[in-house]
Amino acid sequence: MSKGKPRESFKRKRSAFREFYYSMILLGIIIGAIIPLFISELATTQVNMERMFFLFCIGVGMLIGLANYGIFKIFIQKELKRLKSAMDEVGKLSYGGVADVKREDYTLEVSSADLIGEVQESFNEITDNILTQLELSEQIKQFQESLAKEMELEVLSYTIAHQFLKITKSQCVCVYAKIGENLKLVGKDGLDSPFNFVKESNELLKLFSLMKETKIIEYKKLGDVPIEFFDGNFDAKYSSTHIRGIPIFERNGSLIGLIVMCGQFEEISNYEKKKLFHYLYHTALYFQNVLLHTQLIEIAEIDGLTQVYNRMFGMKYIEEAYKWVTMKGKEMSIIMLDIDFFKKINDTYGHACGDFVLKETAVLLSEDLRTRDIVCRYGGEEFLIALEGSDLENSVKIAERIRHKIEVQQFKYLEDSIKVSVSIGLTNIIKNDEGCVECAIKFADKALYVAKGKGKNRTIVYDKGEFQTIEGY
C-alpha cells in the first residue's frame, strides 16, 4: 500500500466540523428566507418586499450561521483539542514504563457541567483504568523477573510472601509447599511468628487437595472456637483478624502449595480478586519449577535408603560448614559411626532386616542431633556426622548419648526384636586436622578402628596423637 492512500482515505471520511459548517450556512439561509415572511405577517402596514431585501435577510442569516460556527469552533474545538492531546499522551504510555508517571499529569480538568464535562470525566475514568492496568502489568513484570532469578525454594517463597504482603496489605503472609502428604512452611514475611494453623487443622489440607480450581478460601479462629471455612462468596465483612488462603496448583491441577494471608480484611472486590489471580498465575509457574528443581536436588543429595545425605553431598556440606566455623573462630567435631555385627544381622534376619536397621539408625541419629549438624551415609553401615560449633568435651557427650540410645533401642522387625550397638570414632577437626577435613575424617576413622578392636560398642576419641577410651555414659 502506497503512502498516499491513507491520506486519500482520510480525506474521504466525513468531517463533523465541515458538516456543522454547512448546516449553519443552510440554517442561516432558511432563517434569512423566513424573516421577510414574518415581517410581512406582523407588520400593520404593507411592506414592500423587494428582491434586495430578501437577499439582505438571507445574507444576515448566513452571517449568523457563520458566527455560530465560529463560536462553536473557538470553544468546543478548544476542549476537543485538549481531549485529543491528553489521549495522545495516554497512548504513548504503552510504549514506555509507568514508574515515573504522575496520574495528575494525565487527568483532564472538568471545565463544564454539561456533556463536555461528562466526556472529560469519562476520559479521566478510562485513563485511570489504563494507568492502573499498566501499573499492574509493570508490577507483575518486575515480580516475574524477581521470581526468574531464584532457584532456591526458601528464597523464592520469601519473594512470593513479600509481594503478596504488599498487594494484599496483610499483617503476615506464609507460603507452604506440599512435601509428600504434608504442608511445610517454606517462606514467610510480616509478623515474626508464623501461623501454625496448618498443624492444627488437617481439614485445611484436605479441603485444598479436593479443590479443582483456584479459589480464595477465608476462615477465622477466635480463641478455642473451631476454624470456620468460607467458600469465597464474601457476603460478610469480618472486623476480627482472619485468614485468607489461596491454593497453588501445578499444570495438571494437583495441589503443590498454599499462600496464606492474615490480617484485617474487608470484602474483596472483583478487581482485587483478578489482581491476585494474575500474580498467582506467575507464582504457580515458577513455584512448580523450583519445587521440582528442589526435589531433584534432594534426590541427588539424599541416600535413598536412609534419607540422610549421601557421601558426596555430605562431604560437600561438611567442607562448607568447616569454612564457616574457621571464619567464625568456632570448633567442629567429626564422628565416624559403624553398626556392630551388621553382617551377622544380614545373615541371620535377611538383607531386608539389615535395610530396616540402617533406616532406623538414621532416624535415631537425625532425632538426636541439631538442625545445623550434618549426617551422611559414608558407606555400607557407616555414618559420618559433623557437629558444627561443638568442642571436644561436648562432642563426647553427644557421641555417648547416641551410642547409648541405639544400645537400648528395641529394633522390632516383623516378629523379631533385634539388639543393635554401634562403635564410634571421634576427633575435633580444629585441634587435629591441620586445616584438612579429609585428615580429620581419617583420624576419626582410625579411632573407629580402635573401638572395633577393643570389643565394639564404645567411643574412642583421637586427640593430639592419642586414642582415649570413653568409659560409660
- Which domains are seen in the chain, by residue range? 15-132 (no CATH), 153-301 (3.30.450.40), 311-470 (3.30.70.270)
CA distances to 31, 104, 257, 268 from 27, rounded to whole Å, are 6, 42, 72, 56
Q: Distances from the Cα of 252 to the Cαs of 194, 206, 213, 287, in angstroms? A: 30, 18, 11, 14
What pLDDT does residue 470 have?
A: 82
Q: So what's the pLDDT on residue 408?
A: 94
Nearest alpha carbon to residue 311 among 369, 388, 365, 375:
375
Which residues lie below 8 Å from residue 96, measured CB to CB, with a gap of 6+? none
Residue 444's pLDDT is 94
Q: Which helix (H) or strand (E) holds 260?
A: strand 255-263
- pLDDT score, position 171: 78
Tens-binned pLDDT, residue by residue, of the chain (473 aa): 444 444 444 455 666 666 666 777 777 777 777 777 776 666 555 555 666 767 777 777 778 777 777 777 777 777 777 777 777 777 666 655 555 667 666 677 777 776 767 777 777 787 777 777 777 888 888 888 888 888 888 899 999 999 998 888 887 888 888 877 777 888 888 765 444 444 434 455 555 555 555 556 555 443 333 333 333 333 333 333 567 778 888 877 788 888 888 776 667 777 888 888 888 888 888 998 988 888 777 778 889 899 999 998 899 889 989 988 888 888 899 999 999 999 999 999 999 999 999 999 999 998 888 888 999 999 999 999 999 989 999 999 999 999 999 999 999 998 899 999 999 999 998 766 556 888 899 999 999 999 999 999 999 999 888 898 887 65
Report the C-alpha gap between 269 and 271 in whole angstroms: 5
Using a cut of 0.75, tell me whether the model's pTM lies above it.
Answer: no
Residue that the C-alpha cell 495516554 belongs to: 90
DSSP string spanning 129-141? HHHHHHHHHHHHH
Three-class secondary structure of residue 463 per DSSP: strand
Q: Is 245 helix (H, G, I), strand (E, B) or coil?
A: strand
Going along 98-181, which residue ranges are E strands?
172-179
User: Is residue 242 within a helix (H) or strand (E), and if so which, with residue range?
Assistant: strand 242-249
